[in-house]
Amino acid sequence: MIHRIPINLKVLLLVMAISGGTCRGETMELFASDPLAKVLRTYVPDAANGSVLHLDGSPGEIVSGQAVLLSDQSDTVTISVSRLVSADGKSSIPAKAVCLQWVRYLDITANTPAIPKDELATIAPASIPDPFWEDAERPVEPRSPQPLWVELDVPADVPPGEYRGELVIQGHSGQCSLPVTVRVRSFRLPEERHQRVIQWWDFPGRGFESLKPGSEGYWKHLERMCAMVRRHRQTDIRVGWELVERKNDHWDTSLFEKYAETAFKSGIYAVQFTPLGRHTKSQLEPDSRTEGVEDNIGRLAAVEEAVKKHGWQGRVLTSLADEPFIYHEQSYRKLLERVRKTAPDVGVVEAIETEDLGDLDIYVPKLSHLNLWWPHFEDLKRRGEQVWFYTCCHPQGRYPNRFLDQPLILARELHWISYLYGLDGYLHWGFNWFAHEGDPYSEKGANQWSLPPGDAQVAYPGRKGFVGSLRLSVMRDGLQDYEYLWVLENRLSELRKGLDADWLDPRQRPLELCRRVVQSFYDHTRDPKVLLETRSAIADEIEGLDAKPLLYVQTSPPEGTITPAGPIMINVRGAATPGAKLTINGQAVIEENIDDKGCFIGAVFITADKPEIVVTAELNGIKRSCTRTFKVVD
């Protein structure tokens, strides 16, 4: 459950009068932080860069921010936010669009074992911020950092521009405030999700075991859970075979149908059944085989009829047996053939540890195996097959994952990898799994299987539902980053069509920008500033396609290409508003090299000391420029 904290206008006016809108109070200080920082107990504020909380996003997006409270003494505090008002005063974003959540710490005694120390957020034993508190009030201790997570649901109809408001902290012994600025972009984030995502949940989950399938409380809980995961851009959910019950001489699908109907009405795209089969031994045993569970095969036939009845083809899937290895290929294909005959309208999705398992609907190799066996899966992609990837307790090392003790940026970069390789979705097994006993907010209660910290959950049990976390929110932000890249690609596809420009590759520029953040399955930036600046650059380029004069540039080879010293010739192609005066590195583009639609060409030699190409377009006194940079090595 997400707690929305109402504004206290009297406190806001008082604080603004006392502090003049600064972040300092008599006994407390509130500092801005970035949304990729894990605020550890050793936090030292950056006063120079922490005086204003800056948010940047598009309508339809949930924009994340973070602030940190430091108090000189023990206190109990509340936080509120003002209405966000545009610079001209004509538009505003209501305070209710802002969700404020205090961040909670988890104590760990051991790190993920196979991750180098320089890849960890901190060395255990340590307290690590992750889950959110549910309450509006928060006790604070002297000089102990208390992070605050800020989420702004940018209204779909809000005009672009800059908006300003204030965060206000009120305690028994004082108060302070922090200015907030929001840059609302001129393009809207698509409602459609272009990445499929599932994190397997334990439903109804720890703390809600008393909810019986079919009860009113069970369905209400399902609605809340679906709303929560959809808010975090998850598209699919899991369902168990136990919802298909034997009644007399037939399998009754009424509970499953109600479950699926509830999910679909809540905006979920697909439901995926747990495995209908099993492996006869541990997957790594050479004589292990895959076999079906006969009762589940019977259930599957009944589900097939329900799918046909409701027209749910493509929205109901099953797994056969989790993580099949090479030893299972022959037996797995036999079971798959049987499943296809029994239920041709039920899709098959599998998290796989090998290559040749037959004709699946969705192939989901582990990130590390996707790296090692990429030519095989790239060929599947070329043939139009759906290829996702998954992470779990592996991979470790220097691969991105979403472990509790890794920097937040790694969880966000997972979805940049999806764009880089044109992947269709992401799976993780652990949404909300906890030990049956013990405090779920403790290391023991959260990790009953001795897995890497945080592998089993990104959501935590609350009083009325499940509570989110930094990692869950950051993964959502990564999925929104993916959508930014998709929007840029889609806009460039429209430009190509309008110009009839066969030379224009709509994916080239998004990929150039994407590679600033991730370069392969395991090569990626560790610097949050690089990711956040790149995201802003993507948004700038999307908006730039509506600016006048138009200027779009595409080079061959792509920007960022590493080239040996020379000579190095770069071909330049581009598009501009017809009639604009064009230059490339200061040299005018002659009329013969510009067509009637404004498409132009040029060639440039670059050197190690001048590795940039700068293109300008000027029309009616307005000048725009575009830079492409290369890496020249001797």
* Model confidence at 12: pLDDT above 60: no
* Model confidence at 151: pLDDT above 60: yes
Contact by Cβ (8 Å): 563, 557: yes
What whole-number distance in Å separates Cα of residue 407 and Cα of residue 120? 6
Residue type, 321: A
For 442-456, write each residue's pLDDT tens digit: 999 998 889 999 999
User: Rounded mean pLDDT of 87-92?
Assistant: 96
Q: What is the dihedral of CA 375, 377, 382, 387, to 10 degrees?
A: -160
Q: Which of 5-14, 20-29, 299-308 has the lowest mean pLDDT?
A: 5-14
User: Rounded mean pLDDT of 597-624?
Assistant: 96
Nearest partner of 495 among 486, 506, 487, judged by Cα: 506
CATH class, domain 9-184, is mainly beta
Provide the CATH topology of domain 196-469.
TIM Barrel (3.20.20)
At how many degrees (to 10) do helices 294-310 and 329-342 cross? 40
Nearest partner of 526 among 517, 535, 537, 536, judged by Cα: 517
Nearest partner of 193 among 472, 415, 421, judged by Cα: 415
547-634 matches 196-469 in CATH topology: no
Instruction: Give the contacts of 459 (CB within 8 A, at least 6 positions apart).
Output: 201, 228, 431, 432, 466, 467, 468, 469, 472
Residue 575's pLDDT is 98
* Model confidence at 233: pLDDT above 70: yes
> Residue 567: which pLDDT band, with cuts at 50, 70 and 90?
confident
What whole-number distance in Å separates Cα of residue 97 and Cα of residue 60? 11
Instruction: Give the contacts of 56 (CB within 8 A, at least 6 positions apart).
Output: 63, 182, 183, 185, 536, 539
Residue 16's pLDDT is 37
β-sheet bridge partners, residue 152? 63, 98
Residue 301, token pair as written in the block: 């036939």
Contact by Cβ (8 Å): 553, 625: no
**Averaged pLDDT of the chain:** 94
What is the DSSP pairing of strand 196-199 with strand 425-428?
parallel
Residue 386's pLDDT is 98
Residue 25's pLDDT is 56
> Residue 79: which pLDDT band, with cuts at 50, 70 and 90?
very high
Helices (H) and strands (E) in the chain, counts: 12, 35
Contact by Cβ (8 Å): 365, 377: yes
How crowded is residue 222: how many other Cβ atoms within 10 Å of its Cβ?
21
What whole-number distance in Å separates Cα of residue 459 and Cα of residue 467? 6
User: Rounded mean pLDDT of 606-614?
Assistant: 93
User: Rounded mean pLDDT of 326-338?
Assistant: 98
Distance (Å) of CA 69 to CA 10, 75, 560:
21, 12, 40
Residue 328, token pair as written in the block: 């299972």
Residue 564's pLDDT is 87
Give SS3 for 375.
helix
Contact by Cβ (8 Å): 559, 566: no
How crowded is residue 443: how many other Cβ atoms within 10 Å of its Cβ?
17
- Say if residue 523 is exposed, middle or buried (CB neighbours under 10 Å; 0-12, 13-18, 19+): exposed
Residue 8's pLDDT is 41
* Model confidence at 392: pLDDT above 90: yes
DSSP H or E segment with residue 227: helix 216-231
Domain segments of the chain: what residues?
A: 9-184, 196-469, 547-634
H-helix segments, 402-460? 408-421, 443-446
Contact by Cβ (8 Å): 604, 626: no
- CATH number (2.30.40.10, 2.60.40.10, 3.30.70.20, 3.30.465.10) of 547-634 reads 2.60.40.10
Give SS3 for 486.
helix
For 186-232, write each residue's pLDDT tens digit: 999 999 999 999 999 999 999 999 999 999 999 999 999 999 999 99
Q: Could you write out the DSSP letters of every residue in 70-126?
A: EESS-EEEEEEEPPEEETTSS-EE-GGGEEEEEEEEEEESS--TTS-GGGSSSPSSE
Q: What is the pTM of this model?
A: 0.94
Residue 50's pLDDT is 85
- Say if residue 272 is exposed, middle or buried (CB neighbours under 10 Å; 0-12, 13-18, 19+): buried
Percent of the chain at pLDDT > 90 equals 91
Residue of higher predicted confidence among 538 and 3: 538
DSSP label of 565: S
For 512-547, write each residue's pLDDT tens digit: 999 999 999 999 999 999 999 999 999 999 999 999
Residue 14's pLDDT is 35
Radius of gyration, alpha carbons of the chain: 27
User: Rounded mean pLDDT of 233-251?
Assistant: 97
Residue 5's pLDDT is 39
> Residue 1: which pLDDT band, with cuts at 50, 70 and 90?
very low
Contact by Cβ (8 Å): 615, 574: yes
* Model confidence at 368: pLDDT above 60: yes
Residue 173's pLDDT is 84
